[in-house]
Structures are given as C-alpha cells and as structure tokens.
Chain A
Amino acid sequence: MYDFFYNTDIGLVILTVAEALALLVPLLIGVAYLTYAERKVLAAMQLRKGPNVVGPFGLFQPFADAIKMVTKETIIPSGANRALFLMAPMLTFMLAMLAWAVVPVNDGWVSADINVGILYLFAISSLGVYGIIIAGWASNSKYAFLGAMRSAAQMVSYEVSMGFVLVTVLLCVGSLNLSDIVRAQRHMWFCIPLFPMFIIFFISALAETNRSPFDLPEGESEIVAGFFVEYSSMSFGLFFLGEYANMILMSGMTAILFLGGWMGPFGLWPQLGVLWFILKICALLFVFLWVRATFPRYRYDQLMRLGWKVFLPFSLIWLVLTAGALMAFGWLPNA
C-alpha cells in the first residue's frame, strides 16, 4: 500500500488529490462559518441578534446563503468583456485556494514542503490584485473601475512594507521554508521580539485583504460596491468566498510567522498540533471582525500616508536594527 502511494505515478496523483481535499474541504467549511461568525460577532458588538432563523442559532444560514447564490441568475452587463468578466472571480477564488498548498498545519503536515514556501505565499498573495483589476475593467462600469484602481494602488503599497516584515522574520530564521520558520520559534514566538513587525504585518494584512478599515475598493457609501458592483449570483459568490478565504490565509500566515504556527504557548500540549494552529487562526479572525466593528473607514490619502510614510520607513528601520542586533550579538542562524 505504502509502495503504491509513494512510488507509482498514479498513487502519487491520488495522494496529492486526497491531501488537497483534506485541506480544502475544511477550509471551505471554515469560510462558510466565517461569514456566519462575522454576522454573529458584529451583531453581538452592535447589540443585535444576528442570523438566528435558519436552523438552531442560525447555524444553517451559510448553507441557505450558498443555495441562494447558486440558484440566482448570472447577469453579464452588455458592455462587459465576457471572458475576462467571468475569469476574474474564478481567478480570485483559485488564488485563495492555491496558496494553501505550502501552509504547514502541523509538524510535517504540509502538501508541498518547498524550500521557498514563504516566497510562494508572497507571490500568490501579490497576484490577488489581478482578480480585482480585471473585474473592475471587464465590468465596463465607472464604479467598478474606480474600485479596481483604488485596490491596485492599495495592495501594491502595502505589499512593500509586508515584504520588509517578511525579510525581518527571515533574518531571524535563516530559511525560507515555512516549517523551518515555525520550528525556529520553539523557544520564543516571534511576536515578542518582533512585536512592532507583528502589528505592522497584521494591519498590512487587513489592507491586503481589503478589509475594514481599509475596504476602500468596495466602499459602499462612495462607489456603491466597488469592483464587484456588476457581479451577481455565483460570480459574486466566488469573490465573496475568495475574500474570506484570503482572510483565513492571512491569519494563518500571521500565525506561522509570529505566533508559532502549530506550537502551543510555552510548549504546552504539543500533541494538540493542528488544533493550536486553528485556534490561533480563529483568534486572529476574531480581531479582523473586531476591527471591522470598531473602526471607521480610512480616507484614501490617509491610507496611502499610513502605508508609505509610516509603515515603510518604520519597517525598514526595524529591519536594519534587527540585522544589526543579530550581527552584533552573534545570533545569526546558520552562522
């Protein structure tokens, strides 16, 4: 059996598909319940009840929403570029799924343990902007295009400081492999020595996923719904799923880079493994929702100022400081 799965081509293909399903099915269920959690958390913070009609405590609400979305009519505007219009949501959703190939959920539990895992994640997350730009352009609508332009500028801006944060972490690890990054935190999670970087990374993650208070690309009060204003039914649904899957991905990335991935605090209960990882993702997702319920939306020039004039110089200086400290005290890994 072992021989069949690991040493024949067909076995390897079956194994890979099984691994992908084992990762993606829980992920999609997580996405479904994240939408439910968002509505419940926001409701609780605004002293409302939230969805409570479909099923016990409204627990079947995500499925009701999904069925509604699938059964509605897909409307394609007559002036739209059909092929690109339909490609954009698929691209967004696909990229959100694709990135999970390298995420280690437990020690050794990763479908592709590649050497440049963190670069792969960074590459995939930097592609997310295409879905939005293409959607905005192909819709042939001014609101959609305005949203797309905002989002392109925003995502490119915040990627720069995010890159510096990643480099700082990599300096402390000495490897681009995600499992190695987690293992390097067995004595201390990076959120303690690199606390400012942790905060910058998390805020950049908010901007990168177009979440409130940086949800200018969809700003419903100014540009209706931004880049997906022309989308309906499942093509809208894919954007929606993609955004929430990206939130989970970014939380996972934060957990891996700064919160010790699958490891418990102080090495507690190492056998829990994947549950620790999920717990950390849930905690970070709660902060995503908390921020949405708390902060008003940024104005566009404030957003750009924060990215370029605050985060970029700060992360650059912190990078130099980290490198200097590692060098001065001889803490460089692999040296």
Chain B
Amino acid sequence: MITAILFYIFAGILLASAAMVVSSRNPVHSVLFLILAFFNAAALFLIAGAEFLAMILVIVYVGAVAVLFLFVVMMLDVDFAELRSGFQRYLPVGATVGVVLLLELAIVLGGWELAPGAVQLRMSPTPVGMSNTEAIGRILYTDYIFQFQTAGLILLVAMIGAIVLTLRDRKTSRHQNIRHQTERTVAETLQLVSVKLGAGTTASGGILRPIVAEPEPVEEEADAGGHGHGH
C-alpha cells in the first residue's frame, strides 16, 4: 500500500519534472529539473529493489554528468528572445519530424513481443539469497563480459578523442615544469648587485629583480585568440 503510494508520488514528480526540463524558460532551471528527474528515477529503482542501480544513477548522472551540464549551461550566454524568434518558422518541420518519430515508435511497439522467459523474471530483480550488486556483477562479468569491455573501450576512445581534439599546447600559455622549479637555486635566480646610494632608483625604483629569462619567440597560430585555455 505505502509502496504503491510512494511509487505514484515519485512517478508523478518524475513526469512533471521531465516536462519542466523541456518547457522551462531558463536553461539552468531545466538542468535542475533534470536532476530532480534523475533523483526520482533513482527512487523508483529503489522501490523496485534495484538499490545498486539507484545509487549508480545518482553517482554517475547527478554527481558527474549533470554537474558538467550545469557547468556548461551556466557559462553559455543564451539569448532567449533570439531562440524564440524562429519558433513559428520551424514549427512545421519540427512537428513533421516529431509525428514521424511517434509513428515509428508506435509501429515498433505494436509488433513487439516479450521473450517468453522475460515475463516471469520481470518483477524479480535478484535471484534468491544474493544481493543486488552481486547479481549484476555476475551477469556483467560472465555472460556479457565482451559487451562490457567493448563499451569501456568505446568510452576510452571517446575520451582520448575529446582530449586530442581540444588540447592544444599553445606557445603563449605558461607552464610550470615541476622538476625545473625544484632544481632552481638562489645562484641562478637572484643577482645581488651593490648599487651606489641613490644610483639604482632611476629605472626600476631601486628594487632588485629576479633575472628574467629571454622569452622564446611566439609563433602566431592562424586562429590565435580563438579557443585558448579557459573557454
């Protein structure tokens, strides 16, 4: 009884917040509603007895993915008026695509039959005498190890690709070489000069300054000033 009530509460909030994700005017609010939706999905997982999935959903999606979403959305300078100006013009195209997708979905779902064994397994998420986490681990690391490894590999490739595409070591950016830094000595860094009284105050205000190494000539790249660090 209580489970049913909780289910409807969480499912209701989930649907409402999912609707708010697409309808709210402020993109930051959208992301926050998305996080609420994730939370309620995690609660539904908990009700279904899949505690491991619930926690992983919160850790991965709320704790990492949505943080980056929020990060990006907050830094975007979105002009809402401009976004809405094309609404009338794009409505027919958008509506057509949506209707086609809906029809396709209906056709697929209409011809879909559940596997005969799946119906019995539907509401028994874990085998008897085994915790949820263990059950998932057994399936993932035995029967589906190939798919699991492939998924990991694809993610690795995507990660390396993202780094290769975005990381550009520009000559203008300054780096600290930790080894050089620790090997520096006073002798090669600081020069002590004895100045006659009043003689050193003209150019630099009479302050002893560290010896500055001659800066390397900077090669100007074609798109200098474009996508540097900090974007």
| A116-B133, A133-B71 as given contacts; A122 in contact with B59, CB under 8 Å | yes
Question: Which secondary structure characterizes the binding site on chain A?
Answer: helix
User: Chain B interface: which of A28-36, A124-132, A216-224, A274-282?
Assistant: A124-132
Please name all residues of chain B whose beta carbon is closer than 8 Å to the beta carbon of A127 when the two chains form the complex.
58, 62-63
Please name all residues of chain B whose beta carbon is closer than 8 Å to the beta carbon of A130 when the two chains form the complex.
35, 67, 70
Please name all residues of chain A whose beta carbon is closer than 8 Å to the beta carbon of B62 when the two chains form the complex.
123, 126-127
User: Chain A interface: which of B49-57, B82-90, B93-101, B196-204?
Assistant: B49-57
Q: Determine whether B74 belongs to the interface, using a CB cutoff of 8 Å to chain A.
A: yes
Expressed in whole angstroms, the minimum distance between the Cβ of A246 and any Cβ of chain B is: 15
Residue of B nearest to A170 (CB): B133
Q: Which of B58, B63, B74, B133 makes the CB contact (< 8 A) with A176? A: B133
A136-163 at interface with B (beta carbon < 8 Å): 137, 145, 149, 152, 156, 159
Please name all residues of chain A whose beta carbon is closer than 8 Å to the beta carbon of B52 when the two chains form the complex.
116, 119, 176
A305 vs B175: C-alpha distance when bound (angstroms): 11
| A115-B131, A115-B133 as given contacts; A133 in contact with B58, CB under 8 Å | no
Q: Determine whether A301 belongs to the interface, using a CB cutoff of 8 Å to chain B.
A: yes
A327 vs B71: C-alpha distance when bound (angstroms): 41
Expressed in whole angstroms, the minimum distance between the Cβ of A270 and any Cβ of chain B is: 27
Q: How large is the interface on A (under 10, 10 to 19, 20 to 34, 35 or more residues)?
A: 20 to 34
Q: Determine whether B154 belongs to the interface, using a CB cutoff of 8 Å to chain A.
A: no
* Contact yes or no, B67 A119, CB < 8 A: no
Please name all residues of chain A whose beta carbon is closer than 8 Å to the beta carbon of B55 when the two chains form the complex.
116, 119-120, 122-123
* Contact yes or no, B71 A119, CB < 8 A: no
* Contact yes or no, B70 A133, CB < 8 A: yes
Q: Determine whether A114 belongs to the interface, using a CB cutoff of 8 Å to chain B.
A: yes
* Contact yes or no, B67 A152, CB < 8 A: yes
A-B pairs with beta carbons under 8 A, tally: 62
Q: Which of B2, B51, B74, B131 makes the CB contact (< 8 A) with A133? A: B74
Q: Determine whether B185 belongs to the interface, using a CB cutoff of 8 Å to chain A.
A: no
Please name all residues of chain B whose beta carbon is closer than 8 Å to the beta carbon of A152 when the two chains form the complex.
67, 70-71
Expressed in whole angstroms, the minimum distance between the Cβ of A127 and any Cβ of chain B is: 6
Q: Which of B2, B59, B68 makes the CB contact (< 8 A) with A119? A: B59
Please name all residues of chain B whose beta carbon is closer than 8 Å to the beta carbon of A176 when the two chains form the complex.
52, 133
A159 vs B32: C-alpha distance when bound (angstroms): 21
Expressed in whole angstroms, the minimum distance between the Cβ of B136 and any Cβ of chain A is: 11
A133 vs B74: C-alpha distance when bound (angstroms): 9
Expressed in whole angstroms, the minimum distance between the Cβ of B4 and any Cβ of chain A is: 15
Please name all residues of chain B whose beta carbon is closer than 8 Å to the beta carbon of A301 when the two chains form the complex.
176
Interface 0/1 of A68-83, CB less than 8 Å to B: 0000000000000000
* Contact yes or no, A137 B63, CB < 8 A: no
Please name all residues of chain B whose beta carbon is closer than 8 Å to the beta carbon of A123 when the two chains form the complex.
55, 58-59, 62-63
Q: Determine whether B207 belongs to the interface, using a CB cutoff of 8 Å to chain A.
A: no
B125-146 at interface with A (beta carbon < 8 Å): 131-133
* Contact yes or no, B71 A149, CB < 8 A: yes
Please name all residues of chain B whose beta carbon is closer than 8 Å to the beta carbon of A305 when the two chains form the complex.
178
B153-201 at interface with A (beta carbon < 8 Å): 176, 178
A137 vs B32: C-alpha distance when bound (angstroms): 12
Q: Which of A114, A134, A149, A156 makes the CB contact (< 8 A) with B64? A: A156
Residue of A nearest to B58 (CB): A123
Q: Which of B59, B67, B132 makes the CB contact (< 8 A) with A115? A: B132
Q: Determine whether B28 belongs to the interface, using a CB cutoff of 8 Å to chain A.
A: yes
Residue of B nearest to A148 (CB): B74
Please name all residues of chain A whose beta carbon is closer than 8 Å to the beta carbon of B63 when the two chains form the complex.
122-123, 126-127, 129, 159
Given A9-B2, A159-B63; 17 other pairs, CB 8 A cutoff: A115-B51, A115-B133, A116-B132, A120-B55, A122-B55, A122-B59, A122-B63, A123-B59, A126-B58, A127-B62, A129-B67, A133-B67, A133-B74, A134-B32, A152-B71, A156-B64, A159-B64
Instruction: Kindly list the 8 A-B residue pairs having the minimum CB-CB distance in the complex, ordered from nearest.
Output: A126-B63, A119-B55, A123-B58, A123-B59, A137-B74, A116-B55, A116-B51, A115-B131
23 pairs, A vs B, C-beta closer than 8 Å: A114-B51, A115-B51, A116-B55, A119-B52, A122-B59, A122-B63, A123-B55, A123-B62, A126-B62, A127-B62, A127-B63, A130-B35, A130-B67, A130-B70, A133-B74, A137-B28, A137-B74, A149-B71, A152-B70, A156-B68, A159-B63, A159-B64, A301-B176
